[in-house]
Amino acid sequence: MNEIDLDDLRPYRDDEIPAAMERMAGDATLAQMVGYACPGVPLESVREKLRAVRTADDFQRAFVQPLLENIIKATSSGFTYSGEGNISSAQGHLFISDHRDIVLDGALLQLVLIYSGLPTSEITFGSNLVSSRFVEDFGRSNKMYKILRGGTGRDLVRNSHILSEHIREVVDDGRSVWISQRDGRTKDGDDRTDQGLVKMLAMSDRSPQEALERLNIVPFAISYEYESCDALKAREIYARRRGRYEKAPGEDMKSIVTGVKQYKGAIHIEVCPPVTPQEIGAFADECCNDMMRGVAAVIDRRIHRGYRLFATNYMAYDMRGGTAVFAGERYSQADRVRFEEYMDRQARGVEGDVLELKDILLDIYANPVANKLAVEGEA
C-alpha cells in the first residue's frame, strides 16, 4: 500500500466545500438522487442550491437534513429519540452504536444532534463504500471520515493507528465522531462490540486507560421495528453456514439502497449514559486483552439496555421459543398473524430452505429481546 495521506481520508474543510459542490452539481448521479429524494423538484434548482453552499454545516442543513427527513417520511412510521441530555455541549465525544444499516445508523444520529441544538459529528465509513467521486464528495462534505479497508496485516495496523489518532484529535478539539461497534453490520441481531475496535481506540496513547478515558465515549442504541435488509442478512447467514458466501460486485451498494428504501416501521435512537473513567479504570490492572474485553462489555450493556423493543421483536422471541410470554401485553393475535406472513414472504424471497431461513429471520428480531432481558436481569 502507498503512503497514506490523511487529506485523502478526512472530511472536507470548509474551504474545500465549494469545489465539491461544483463537482456534484455537474455529476449525472445528482439527477438520480434528486429523482428519488426530492421528487418534483427541478434539477436545475438543486444545482443552484448546491453551488450556493459554502460550508459543511450549510450542506447538512440544505441537503442532508431534508434528505433524511424525506427518507423517514417515505419509509417509516416515525422517528423518535431520547437521552440527548447525556451529550455534553462542553466537550467532544466518541459515539459508538450498534450497526444495523450501512448509512442510516450514523446519519440519523446527526438529526438527533441537529434537533437538540448540538454540533453534528464526523461519521466514519469504509473505503469499500466509496463507489464514485460523487459518493466521496457527498460523504466527505457531510463530515465523513473514510476508513481504509483491505491490505496486509501491516497495512491494517498502520491504518488503525491513523484512525485512532484522528479520533483522539477530533475529540480533544471539542468535536465528536461516530463509529459503529464493529466493522460490518450485525447480521443476526446479536449486537457485540468488537474487542479489536476498543484496541484500536486505545492506540492513541501509551496508556490504554488514559486513551479511552479521553474519548468521552457515549454509546447509543438504534432500533428499527423492521430490520434493515433483513432478507439480505438472512441470505448471507444461510450461505455462510454452507461455506460458500462471497460478496458479489455491487453488493454493498445494493445493501445501501435497500436499507434506505425498505420500510422500517418505527425508528428510535436512545442516547445512553457516557462510559465513565471509573468503569474504564476498573480494568486497569487487567492484561491488555482483558481490559479491551471489559470495556467492550460495558458498551454492550449500555446498548442492550437502550434498545427500544417493538412488537416484531417480542413476537419473534415467542415464536422462536414456542411460547406466548409476551402475547396480549406486547402484541395481539392479529399482529402475530401479520408478522408470520411477513416472515414467510421474506424467507420465500431468498433461495434456500424456507424453514431454516425463517429461523434465521426470527433470530434477527428475537436476539435484541434476549440481550435486553439479560442485562436487565443483572440489575
Label residue 2 by pLDDT band (50, 70, 90): low
pLDDT, tens digit, for every residue of 311-349?
A: 999 999 999 999 999 999 999 999 999 999 999 999 999
The verdict on 285 and 141 lying in the same domain is yes
pLDDT, tens digit, for every residue of 361-371?
A: 999 999 999 99
The verdict on 272 and 331 lying in the same domain is no
**Residue at a domain's end among 275, 308, 341:** 308
pLDDT, tens digit, for every residue of 158-209?
A: 888 999 999 999 999 999 999 999 988 999 999 999 999 999 999 988 899 9
The verdict on 206 and 352 lying in the same domain is no
The verdict on 208 and 330 lying in the same domain is no
Is 192 inside a domain boundary?
A: yes
The verdict on 211 and 341 lying in the same domain is no
Res 1: pLDDT:
45
The verdict on 331 and 210 lying in the same domain is no
**Residues of the domain holding 334:** 312-376
pLDDT, tens digit, for every residue of 23-54?
A: 999 999 999 888 877 778 899 999 999 999 99
The verdict on 222 and 335 lying in the same domain is no
The verdict on 128 and 272 lying in the same domain is yes
- Could you give the percent of the chain with pLDDT greater than 90? 81
pLDDT, tens digit, for every residue of 108-145?
A: 999 999 999 999 999 999 888 888 899 999 999 999 99
Three-state SS letters, the chain: CCCCCHHHCCCCCHHHHHHHHHHHHCCCHHHHHHHHHCCCCCHHHHHHHHHCCCCHHHHHHHHHHHHHHHHHHHHEEEEEEECHHHCCCCCCCEEEECCCCCCHHHHHHHHHHHHCCCCCCEEEEEHHHCCCHHHHHHHHHCCEEEECCCCCHHHHHHHHHHHHHHHHHHHHCCCCEEEECCCCCCCCCCCCCCHHHHHHHHHHCCCHHHHHHCCCEEEEEEEECCCCCHHHHHHHHHHHHCCCCCCCCCHHHHHHHHHHHCCCEEEEEEECCCCCHHHHHCCCCCCHHHHHHHHHHHHHHHHHHHCCCCHHHHHHHHHHHCCCCCECCCECHHHHHHHHHHHHHHHHCCCCCHHHHHHHHHHHHHHHHHHHHHHHCCC
Res 329: pLDDT:
96
Mean pLDDT value across residues 232-261:
89
CATH code, domain with 163: 3.40.1130.10
The verdict on 298 and 348 lying in the same domain is no
Rounded-to-integer distance, Cα 37 and Cα 22, Å: 20
Number of domains in the chain: 2
Is 53 inside a domain boundary?
A: no
pTM higher than 0.85, yes or no? Answer: yes
Mean pLDDT value across residues 283-307:
94
Residue 236 pLDDT exceeds 70: yes
pLDDT, tens digit, for every residue of 50-74?
A: 999 999 999 999 999 999 999 999 9
Is 353 inside a domain boundary?
A: yes
